[in-house]
Amino acid sequence: MANTKANKKVDHSMPRPASFIPSNGPAIGLPSPLGTVMSGQKSGSRRKKSMDTPLLLTALVDAFSILVIFLLVQMGSGQNFFEANDSIKLPQASSVDVASPSDKGARIANLVVTERGYILDEEVLNLRDVGARLKAMGSTAENPVRLVIQADQASNFDLMSPLLSLTAEVGISKLEFAVEEAERAM
């Protein structure tokens, strides 16, 4: 029966679908010249092979689900507690300190040290104003302030020296230097 079908001559009078898959069904358009070549049909002697490849949607859904779960888990664990300034490149460090219980609820003062001045909570200030602001924050044991200092890795440490003296004056002895977490090369 299959041979009969394969040997059946193609009726060229009927318009045929313009696809790569030869078909004997209802025809639209002209027959594709590649149809015979791709299906491996040789002068109608061999059985026609179907070029239809079923798309495994179940595997695709599985892969997508795994990707979504991975991204959700990563999203939950990778929240930064401060926002990095785009204009600077933070230094990299592998031994990053984790937040202690006393850090929870503490106010975060984000201080960016640049060549043109100090940016405290997105406001450009001079050193004296930074001192006044930090003093006004009033870091106490009950109401601690976490001072997170950001600076470019190539910047001069001399920019930091007056700031460190200033923080000591206003009573902030614990400092946090912002870094980019990195794997350490062994």
- Nearest CA among 92, 80, 109 for reference residue 154: 92
Q: Which stretch binds another protein (CB under 8 A): 20-28, 39-47, 74-82, 129-137?
A: 74-82
Determine which residue in the list 68, 114, 128, 136 makes contact with another protein, applying CB under 8 A.
68
Q: How far is CA 36 from CA 17, 72, 94, in A?
A: 13, 49, 62
Near another protein by CB under 8 A, which window of 20-28, 45-53, 64-72, 127-135? 64-72
Strands 145-151 and 107-114: parallel
Of 34 and 60, nearer to another protein (C-beta) is 60
d(CA 118, CA 125): 5
Q: Which of 37, 38, 67, 132 binds another protein (CB under 8 A)?
A: 67
Position 47, amino acid:
R
Closer Cβ to another protein, 27 or 159, answer by number: 159
50 is an interface residue for another protein by CB under 8 A: no
127 binds another protein (CB under 8 A): no
* 77/131 Cα distance (integer angstroms): 34
- List Cβ neighbours of 64 (8 Å cut-off, separation of 6 or more): none
- The type of residue at 148 is V
- Token readout for 168 is 């000591």
Q: Are 112 and 150 in contact (CB under 8 A)?
A: yes
Tell me which residues in 156-185 interact with another protein (CB under 8 A).
156-161, 164-165, 167-168, 172-181, 184
Distance CA 120, CA 131 (A): 10
When asked if residue 107 is in the footprint of another protein (CB under 8 A), the reply is: no
Tell me which of 38, 96, 124, 132 binds another protein, using CB under 8 A: 96
Question: 3-class DSSP state for residue 152?
Answer: coil
Binding of another protein by 93 (CB under 8 A): yes
**Nearer to another protein (CB atom), residue 67 or residue 124:** 67
Residues that bind another protein (CB under 8 A): 57-58, 60-61, 64-65, 67-68, 71-72, 74-75, 78-82, 84, 90-91, 93-97, 148, 151-161, 164-165, 167-168, 172-181, 184
